[in-house]
Structure 1
Amino acid sequence: MAAYLNFRLPRNRPAASLFSAHPGAVSVRRSAELQRLAEKEHYRTRMNWRKLITGIYESRHQQPGIAGKPEFHPGTSAASIADAEAALNSAMPASLRSLLLETNGVMDMMAIDGGDWFESMWLLWKIEEVVEQNRFFRTAHEEGKYERDFSHLVFFAGARTDGILFAFPVVDGVCDSRVVVWHPIMDELDDLAPSLEEFLRGWLTSTISV
């Protein structure tokens, strides 16, 4: 948890980092930090991710003969999230933190013509997969395999087509709350949704696509 707090709380920053800049810049920075803390409190006290995701599945249009449902897992620990943040040198957004604490990843399950349920794809990765995938791409950049510097992104899920991945942008070591999509074929990065919640609503109901 200490690693997360060091990323988030302004009181843990050296005084010089807060006051050496122009007062206007300091004010903007503190406002952003206060907003992130407010988002953290919102997701901690109000969001029920299992209920939200299940509700989206139940309300969306299903193709004839094809049924879908989410499969949840026991939540990860705050210590595991802190370890992941330290490994990636990036504080995760409050939304992803609260989701992982509730369910460590979400699997999309499918059944065809009333048959047995089977795993279709990861809707949201487990914390271990988040670390593994982001380490892979950051190492690939260091080895010259990709021009893009992936330390400015934290991937958390994939589209299961053309290697397309979903991520949170990283600004000054902290993930932004908005969701972006990376298209590896053209190495293009596009804004997709203003929040994880809106991403899930749009992606699961096909109102946003890649």
Structure 2
Amino acid sequence: MDVKVEIWSDVVCPWCAIGKRRFEKALAGFAHRDEVEVSFHSFELDPSAPREREGDLAEHLAGKYGISRDEAADKHRQMTATAAADGWDFHFERARAGNTFDAHRLLHLAAERKVQDAVKERFLRGYLEDGAPIGDPDTLVRLAAEAGLDADEARAVLASDRYADAVRADQRQAQAYGISAVPFFVVDRKYGLAGAQPPEALLQVLETAWTEAHPLQVLTPAGGDADTCADGSCAI
């Protein structure tokens, strides 16, 4: 029986990128890693965002939280340093923010084509490192194709409303779970972990879920219990 890990996240979320990398480190240290099923689920940090937002990210952050542009830029520098420890090379000065609904639709297509992890990785890297306009359909098709999706099929999906219901279903499930921030990890529909947890914490949950799914069966021989030592009953 596989351990099922569902991850709610957005493709413009720096902590989601960091959380993804930390989960990968945890999975690499898990003895049963080949029996873990991982899927990404849709969460929009800003569903009302335009296809491409005007202005740079520091300016938007400053306006949103009522801080100065310099303070916003300093927060970006801190986040960049944190991400570097997990192997990311963030460039917030390049970021071109926008609506992510279409990106999530393509991630559902990618799940069906067995390349969801690669497409998720490419979208995150495209936005956080390369400065790709994440709401632009042509950009999404290019990034998805670089990660293994068929470009024509991806373009056809974006020209239709395919997977829109799947994205909204993910969002309803997030509400049902009480998820209000991402990343959020759900393991075997039993354990929930919020935030970019350290690899050690994620590994512990994987091990707990595995143990519960594979309880030890203690067998009693037909002839009864065999002799054992316990509680000082043996002379040593």
TM (norm. structure 2) is: 0.27
Larger radius of gyration: 2
Which is richer in helix?
2
TM (norm. structure 1) is: 0.29
